[in-house]
Structures are given as structure tokens and as C-alpha cells.
């Protein structure tokens, strides 16, 4: 278990020091990083290396319920959040995922701050992590194919 904690500490420090928005570490190695904001980079990591994320540690600037459910889908062992929603923390802890957060908020807002983040809403309406992954695939998968 100590190795997992070392991975979490490394991911968290890289997130803060390198100004990345997402860092995923496994066995002391960075296996994914991104400066892009939002759910898309985490979704891409899960889609491209789903089984490779098993027992990895992630660090993300903002962790809402959608990111929490992606962690469960990929069986990530631990996550550090710059800011996490209470709902995300509850989802992760119920499933035994180690969670560390700098700031805890009741929920993640949309960019305008006028409502819930749309991905937070999507996660709330999903029965389980696999259903959320499929919904994100329908939304984000198309954008990525357009960019190629």
C-alpha cells in the first residue's frame, strides 16, 4: 500500500509544481498528464488505457462526481484533488478509494457559476460508472474524432 501512497504524493506534487490540470502516476512513473481543463483529459486517459489505470494514483485540479465515477470505472486506487465536491468524495470513499483534497465544496459549478457543472448533472443521472462512461463517450468521443 505504501507504493500507492507514494504515487499519490508524487501526482499531487506534480499537479501543484508543474501547473498541470491532471497527472496520473503508477509505480512511480507518470503514465498520463495534461494541462487541458475539464473532464475530457481524464475521459481520454480512461478510454485509452482503462486497465492500465488499475491501482494508479491520479491528481486533478477539480474532482466532481463525473471524475469520481471515472476513477471507479478505471479502478484508480487514489486521487488528490485541488478542489473536490462532497458528492465526489462520498462516492470515492464508499468504494474504498483514497481521497485527499485541498478544498472541499458542496458541488462543482458550471463555468458561469450559475448552476451545477453539466458533467456533475450527468453523473447524478447515471446509474453506475459504466453508464456514465458510455454517456461521456457519446458526448466527448465525437469531439475527439472531429479533431483528428
Q: Is residue 148 part of a domain?
A: no
- Domain extent for 51: 2-136
Contact between 107 and 86 under an 8 Å Cβ cutoff? The reply is: yes
Q: Is residue 147 part of a domain?
A: no
- pLDDT of 8 higher than 90: yes
Q: Is residue 141 part of a domain?
A: no
Locus of grid cell 454517456: 135
Per-residue confidence band for 15, with pLDDT thresholds at 50, 70 and 90: very high
Dihedral sign, Cα of residue 86, residue 10, residue 58, residue 119:
positive
pLDDT at 145: 46
Give 78-125 as a DSSP string: EEEEEEEEHHHHHHHHHTT-EEEEEEEES-PBPTTSSSB-HHHHHHHT
Question: What average pLDDT score do residues 49-57 get?
Answer: 93
Average pLDDT, the chain: 92
Task: Render pLDDT for 101-143 as a digit per residue (tens, 0 to 9).
Answer: 999 999 999 999 999 999 999 999 998 999 999 999 999 876 5
How far apart CA 85 and CA 74 sit, in angstroms, is 20
Q: The domain that contains 72 carries what CATH number? A: 3.40.140.30
Q: Is residue 53 part of a domain?
A: yes
Task: Render pLDDT for 57-101 as a digit per residue (tens, 0 to 9).
Answer: 999 999 999 999 999 999 999 999 999 999 999 999 999 999 999
pLDDT at 50: 78
Domain count, the chain: 1
**Cβ neighbours of residue 86 under 8 Å, at least 6 residues apart?**
104, 105, 106, 107
Q: Is residue 85 part of a domain?
A: yes
Q: Is residue 144 part of a domain?
A: no
- pLDDT of 147 higher than 60: no
Q: Is residue 13 part of a domain?
A: yes
Locus of grid cell 447515471: 126
Amino acid at each position: 500500500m505504501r507504493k500507492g501512497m507514494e504515487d499519490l504524493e508524487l501526482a499531487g506534487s506534480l499537479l501543484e509544481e508543474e501547473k498541470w490540470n491532471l497527472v496520473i502516476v503508477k509505480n512511480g512513473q507518470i503514465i498520463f498528464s495534461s494541462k487541458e481543463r475539464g473532464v475530457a483529459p481524464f475521459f481520454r486517459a480512461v478510454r485509452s488505457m482503462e486497465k492500465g489505470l488499475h491501482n494508479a494514483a491520479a491528481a486533478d485540479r477539480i474532482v466532481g462526481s463525473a471524475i469520481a465515477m471515472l476513477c471507479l470505472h478505471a479502478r484508480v486506487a487514489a486521487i488528490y484533488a485541488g478542489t473536490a465536491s462532497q458528492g465526489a468524495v462520498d462516492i470515492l470513499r464508499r468504494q474504498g478509494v483514497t481521497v485527499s483534497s485541498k478544498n472541499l465544496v458542496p458541488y462543482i459549478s458550471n463555468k458561469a457559476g450559475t448552476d451545477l457543472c453539466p458533467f456533475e448533472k450527468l453523473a447524478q443521472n447515471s446509474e453506475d460508472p459504466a453508464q456514465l462512461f458510455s454517456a461521456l463517450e457519446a458526448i466527448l468521443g465525437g469531439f475527439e474524432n472531429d479533431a483528428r
